[in-house]
């Protein structure tokens, strides 16, 4: 009990002076994620491969800022060739690494973590993937087409050099 109290006291000595100056402000880079705020419909073509036979997948997603403005939350429902499901994701920004962050949790028990960057109107997210016990690199690209639509491509690579398209599609913002 004394150790827990001592650790809590030490931690409060580190944190409280920072909070005395006021809560931290969200990184200015987070403003770029404003593009995704709103309700979207998604339509994708899943390519046949080791993950299944492929086919159409469509869904809806609602993106909004979490209180405090540090994370954009994304709630998605989807259905199609691979069945039905839901996913919740959080996008943020790591100021130390100077990279955007993405963490998603699916109704099928999956968890994905990726880091991203934006160049003009193209967002690129990179992640390590485990596909049936095989380690792969994943690359998700979202290219802004207009204020209300973006094109999507998801690719996999065993070595980070030679990429195969797994999914392509489009997201359209609801009015």
Find all residues with CB under 8 Å of 145, minimum gap 6, and list them. 151, 170
pTM for this one?
A: 0.83
First-residue to last-residue Cα distance in the chain:
56
Which residue do the tokens 């990726």 mark?
A: 114
Ordered structural domains, the chain, with CATH: 24-173 (2.40.128.20)
Which residue do the tokens 């792969």 mark?
A: 136
Q: Cβ atoms within 10 A of the Cβ of 173, count? A: 17
Check residue 4 and give its pLDDT.
Answer: 55
Per-residue pLDDT of the chain (175 residues; tens, 9 = 90+): 555 555 555 545 555 555 567 778 999 999 999 999 999 999 999 998 766 788 999 999 999 999 999 999 999 999 998 789 999 999 999 999 999 999 999 999 999 999 999 999 999 999 998 877 889 999 999 999 999 999 999 999 999 899 999 999 999 999 8
Q: How far from chain centre, in Å, is Cα 21? A: 31
What SS3 class is residue 53?
Answer: coil
Check residue 132 and give its pLDDT.
Answer: 74
Check residue 15 and give its pLDDT.
Answer: 53
Using only the alpha carbons of the chain, give its radius of gyration: 19
Check residue 130 and give its pLDDT.
Answer: 83
Check residue 82 and give its pLDDT.
Answer: 77
Check residue 51 and give its pLDDT.
Answer: 67
């Amino acid at each position: 009990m004394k150790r827990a109290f001592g650790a809590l006291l030490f931690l409060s000595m580190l944190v409280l002076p920072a909070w005395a100056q006021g809560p931290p402000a969200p990184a200015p880079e987070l403003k770029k994620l404003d593009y995704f705020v709103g309700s979207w419909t998604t339509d994708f073509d899943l390519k046949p491969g080791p993950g299944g036979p492929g086919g159409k997948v469509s869904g809806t997603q609602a993106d909004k800022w979490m209180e405090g403005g540090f994370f954009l939350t994304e709630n998605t429902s989807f259905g199609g060739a691979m069945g039905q499901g839901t996913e919740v994701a959080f996008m943020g920004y790591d100021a130390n690494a100077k990279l955007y962050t993405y963490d998603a949790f699916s109704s099928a028990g999956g968890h994905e973590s990726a880091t991203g960057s934006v160049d003009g109107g193209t967002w690129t997210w990179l992640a390590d993937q485990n596909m049936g016990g095989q380690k792969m690199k994943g690359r998700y690209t979202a290219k802004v087409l207009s204020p209300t639509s973006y094109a999507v491509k998801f690719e996999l690579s065993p070595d980070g050099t030679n990429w195969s398209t797994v999914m392509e599609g489009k997201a359209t913002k609801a009015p």
